[in-house]
Amino acid sequence: MKKLVIDEEFCKGCGLCVIACPLELITVGTKVNKQGYPLAQISDANQVKCTACSACARMCPDAAISVYLPKKD
């Protein structure tokens, strides 16, 4: 269950989400998109730690990040 979905087509690897995350869960990796930008990424382990605060999504200039939370039963 991914809380954070980063759209690889929109991401430009600026790193503003990296400094926005209070838990430092996001990194800019080596994988590039078709425009040649390195992509922001979050590991599966960090997906679990993510609190869905949306600070990264607010900072993203390209609206590349969507944030979801699992429904509580």
Partner 1 sequence: MADSMITVFERPHSLKPVPSHFCSGCHHGTVHRLVAEALDQLELQQQTIGIASVGCSVLLYEYFDIDVVEAPHGRAPAVATGVKRVHPDSIVFTYQGDGDLAAIGTAEIIHAANRGEHLTVIFVNNTTYGMTGGQMAPTSLGGQVTTTTPYGRDLETDGNPIRMAELLALLDGTHFSARVSVDAPRRVAQAGKVIHKAFEMQKNRAGFAFVEVLAACPTNWGLSALDANERISQEMMPCFPLGTFKDLSGAQG
Residues found near partner 1 in the complex (CB under 8 A): 1, 9-10, 12-16, 19-20, 35, 37, 52, 54-55, 57-63, 65-71
| CB of residue 14 to partner 1, shortest distance in Å | 4
Q: Residue 27's closest CA among 35, 10, 39?
A: 39
How many other C-beta atoms lie within 10 A of the C-beta of residue 13? Answer: 21
C-beta closer to partner 1: residue 25 or 60: 60
| CB of residue 9 to partner 1, shortest distance in Å | 6
Backbone angles phi, psi at 67, to 5 degrees: -125, 135
